[in-house]
Homo-oligomer: A and B are copies of this chain.
Amino acid sequence: MKDSLLTGTRIRPAPENHLGEDVIQEARRRFMGGALMAGAAAMAAPAVAASAESLDIPEWTRQLGPGVGTHPYGMPSRYEANVQRRESPGLTRTKQSSVSFTPLQSLFGIVTPSGLHFERYHAGLPDIDPAEHRLAIHGLVEQPRLYTMDDLLRLPSESRFHFVECGANTAMEWGNSAVPTVQYTHGMLSCSEYTGVPLKLLLEESGYDRKLGKYLLAEGSDGAALTRTIGIDAALDDAMVVYAQNGEMLRPEQGYPLRLLVPGVQGISQVKWLRRLEVGDMPWNTREESLQYADFMPDGRYRQYTWIQEAKSVITTPSGGQVIMDKGYHQITGLAWSGRGRITRVDVSTDGGRNWREATLQAPVMSKCLTRFRCDWNWDGGPALLQSRAIDETGYVQPQMKQLREVRGTRSIYHNNAIQTWKVAEDGVVTNVQVS
C-alpha cells in the first residue's frame, strides 16, 4: 500500500467559547486511557482502502431534491449552523454598544463571508433607507456638496480587497486572561472586496482648501453620530467612500448604504453609515479619539491618534478550543496582515519561538489585506507551542508579547499586535497560553 500523508491527524473544532467536557473526555480516552496501545485500528490511515463496490449509494442520491427558486438568496447548509458571529458575555454593559466576533477558526482563504463580518456598534444598528440617505462634504471647501446614493453610484469607482480590524482586537490578551478561542482573541478582524468612490475625487469635486485643509471629520448617521478625525494625506491616498462589500451593496452591520474606508487603519475610523465629511485645519479631538482609542503608556501619559494597525498574524488552525485527535500530518494555517502594506514573510514556530520555519503565502498577496499562510507539520504527540510571526514590506517584525509589554506596559487596551501562542497538550487539546 502506498504511503499516505493521512496517517492520523484529525481536528475537532470547538467553536463555543469553552471546551465541551465531552470533547476533552473523548480526547483523554484516546490518548491517556491506553488507546495508543490498544487502539491500533483507530490510528490507521483514516482514508481507508476503497473500491467502487464499497461505496454505498447514499440516501440523497436516491431522491429528487427541491428545484431552483427555493432560495432566491441562499444561506449556508443547516449543518454549518454553529459557524456564526458570537458575543462575549459580560464584555460590555449593553448590546447596543458592543461587539460580535468573526469565527476565524471556521473560515478559509481570505474573504470573510459578509454574514460573518464582525460587528461593532456604539448605539446599535440603524435601518437606513438609501433613498433618504445623504453625504455632505463641507467645511474648508469652495463648494459644499450634498450627495444622494444615486449620485455616488454613477461616479468613477474602484474595487479593492482590504481587511478591517478593530483597534481593540486582541485587547483581552494584554492581561493574562487568555480567552479560549481565536474567535475571541482575534475575531474583530474581517476582510472584504470593497467598491466605492475614491475620497480624493470627492474632495477635489468640493475644491477643498489645499493650504489649510489638513484634516477631515467623518460622522456616522447611527444613533451615536460617531465622529473621527482623518488626516488629509490618508484621505487623498487610498481612502474610499464605499457602498459595496463582497460584490453586493454593504450589509447593514457594516454601514449600509455608505461607509468610509481608510485602508490599514483601525476599524473605528472606517466610519459606518457615513453622512458627513468636514474639512478642517486641526484634529477635532472628539470623544472617540480622546477618552477612547488612546494608548495608555507605562509613564502615565497616553498616545493619541495611533490608528495604523501594525503587522500581525495568528494561527487559526490548530487554535484554542480545537482538539487534535491523532498524531501525524497536519497543515498549520492562519492569517497575516499589516496596515502599512504587503506581508512579505510569515514564520511559524512549533516550540514557542525557539525555531522558526517560513510559511507559504497564498497569492495574490495584496496590500492592507489579509494574507493566508500555510505550513506543513507532523505532530509527534508531544507538547507543542504554536506561534506565527508576520513581517511586512517596511521590514517591521511582529513582536513577542514580552517585547510589546516592555514598551507599552500592561495598561493598554488598544493596538495589541503581539505574537499569539497556542499550546498543544499531549492529549491534543489546544489552549490559549502566554509565554514569557
On A, residues with C-beta under 8 Å from B are 1-2, 4-6, 9-11, 46-52, 54-55, 58, 60-80, 83-87, 94-100, 106-117, 119-121, 123-130, 132-134, 136-138, 142-148, 150-151, 153-159, 193-195, 201, 205-207, 221-223, 225, 243-244, 246-253, 256-257, 273, 275-276, 278, 329-331, 333, 362, 364, 366, 372, 374, 376
B52 lies within 8 A of A138 (CB): yes
A65 lies within 8 A of B124 (CB): yes
A69 lies within 8 A of B48 (CB): no
Known contacts A74-B117, A109-B247; 13 additional CB pairs below 8 A are A2-B143, A48-B145, A55-B275, A58-B133, A60-B222, A68-B95, A69-B100, A74-B252, A77-B130, A155-B331, A156-B374, A157-B374, A246-B246
Q: How far is the CB of A207 from chain B (nearest CB, A)?
A: 5
B248 lies within 8 A of A126 (CB): no
Q: How far is the CB of A152 from chain B (nearest CB, A)?
A: 9
Q: How far is the CB of A30 from chain B (nearest CB, A)?
A: 14
Q: How far is the CB of A394 from chain B (nearest CB, A)?
A: 21
The CA of A329 and the CA of B155, in the complex, are separated in Å by: 8
A107 lies within 8 A of B221 (CB): no
The CA of A172 and the CA of B62, in the complex, are separated in Å by: 32
B68 lies within 8 A of A276 (CB): no
The CA of A48 and the CA of B121, in the complex, are separated in Å by: 31
The CA of A298 and the CA of B210, in the complex, are separated in Å by: 65
A49 lies within 8 A of B144 (CB): yes
Identity of the chain B residue whose Cβ is nearest the Cβ of A102 in the assembled complex = B247
A146 lies within 8 A of B47 (CB): yes
Q: Which of B10, B74, B331 is A150 in contact with, Cβ under 8 Å? A: B10
A158 lies within 8 A of B84 (CB): no
Q: Which of B60, B71, B273 is A223 in contact with, Cβ under 8 Å? A: B60
The CA of A376 and the CA of B156, in the complex, are separated in Å by: 8
B106 lies within 8 A of A6 (CB): no
Which B residues are CB-close (under 8 A) to A111? Answer: 111, 193, 246-247
B222 lies within 8 A of A65 (CB): yes
A60 lies within 8 A of B128 (CB): yes
Q: Which of B65, B114, B205 is A5 in contact with, Cβ under 8 Å? A: B205
A77 lies within 8 A of B145 (CB): no
B113 lies within 8 A of A248 (CB): yes
A126 lies within 8 A of B257 (CB): no
Max chain B C-beta neighbours (<10 A), residue from A62, A195, A256 = A195
B249 lies within 8 A of A65 (CB): no
B65 lies within 8 A of A125 (CB): yes
A154 lies within 8 A of B11 (CB): yes
Q: How far is the CB of A181 from chain B (nearest CB, A)?
A: 16
The CA of A87 and the CA of B51, in the complex, are separated in Å by: 40
Q: How far is the CB of A271 from chain B (nearest CB, A)?
A: 13
Which B residues are CB-close (under 8 A) to A11? Answer: 150, 153-154
Q: How far is the CB of A288 from chain B (nearest CB, A)?
A: 16
Which B residues are CB-close (under 8 A) to A67? Answer: 94-98, 121, 124-125
The CA of A64 and the CA of B224, in the complex, are separated in Å by: 8
The CA of A83 and the CA of B72, in the complex, are separated in Å by: 9
A221 lies within 8 A of B113 (CB): no
Known A-B contacts A74-B251, A108-B247; the reply to A2 vs B207 at CB < 8 A is: yes
Which B residues are CB-close (under 8 A) to A72? Answer: 84-86, 100
Q: How far is the CB of A396 from chain B (nearest CB, A)?
A: 23
A64 lies within 8 A of B123 (CB): yes
Q: Which of B48, B97, B145 is A49 in contact with, Cβ under 8 Å? A: B145
B65 lies within 8 A of A123 (CB): yes
The CA of A147 and the CA of B5, in the complex, are separated in Å by: 12
B55 lies within 8 A of A134 (CB): yes
Known A-B contacts A52-B138, A68-B87, A193-B110; the reply to A116 vs B247 at CB < 8 A is: yes
Which B residues are CB-close (under 8 A) to A158? Answer: 362
B65 lies within 8 A of A126 (CB): yes
